Amino acid sequence: SGMAMATAPRRRASMGRQKIEIRKIESEEARQVCFSKRRAGLFKKASELAVLCGAEVAAVVFSPAGKAFSFGHPSVEAIFDRFVPSAAQHPGAVAAGAGLGASGDRNLAELNRQYGELRTQLEAEKARKERAEEAMAKERAAGNQMAAWLDADLRDMGEEELMAFAAALVEVQAAVS
């Protein structure tokens, strides 16, 4: 027959996986992308190891920015409790210096000190928040319109209320500036 066969456009052959030189990636953006992908790959392999072999696995990775990422089967805590028996007594500072001798003890002591400071700050902030909420509740109960407006839903306000609210905002803005 006289019909010509249409050929599909040829795809360019991919280069496949290339070996890369193992050294720090200079570009911060490329380094972050690589970190995310490799971390995901590491956790996937750890998960496969746990499922296929029935292994108990824990992996903890700190990003260059210091953010922690972890994977554990059955859980990171269960693995650390097995690995470091004292882990139950020091949650949050688990294995901070495990096996590092004096420097590990110093690291653990410093982490515990920081933990104590943060806990104290958190308790102080919670108390401050409770005092502020109590004061606002008293103001609302006393009929203070400003306090009522803090919880107000503008959609439920009438035109007069909205105008008064806007005027009050202007006063507050003037006082702040």
What pLDDT does residue 37 have?
Answer: 93
Q: Which stretch of 16-25, 35-44, 85-94 has the lowest confidence by average pLDDT? A: 85-94
Q: What is the model's pLDDT at position 93?
A: 47
Mean pLDDT value of segment 11-16: 72
Predicted local confidence at residue 94, as pLDDT: 47
Whether 52 shows a pLDDT value over 90: the answer reads yes
pLDDT over 50 at 63, yes or no: yes
Give φ, ψ of 66 to 5 degrees.
95, 5
pLDDT confidence tier of residue 2, bands split at 50, 70 and 90? low
Model confidence at 108, pLDDT cuts 50, 70, 90, reads confident
Give the SS3 label for residue 25: coil
Phi first, then psi, for residue 67 (nearest 5°) are -80, 135
The better pLDDT of the pair 144, 53 is held by 53
Element (H, E) at 105: helix 102-141
Question: With respect to CATH, is domain 28-83 assigned 3.40.50.970?
Answer: no
pLDDT of residue 24: 92
Using one digit for the tens of pLDDT, what is the confidence trace for 136-175?
778 777 777 666 666 666 667 778 888 888 888 888 888 8
Q: Which residue do the tokens 């000190």 mark?
A: 113
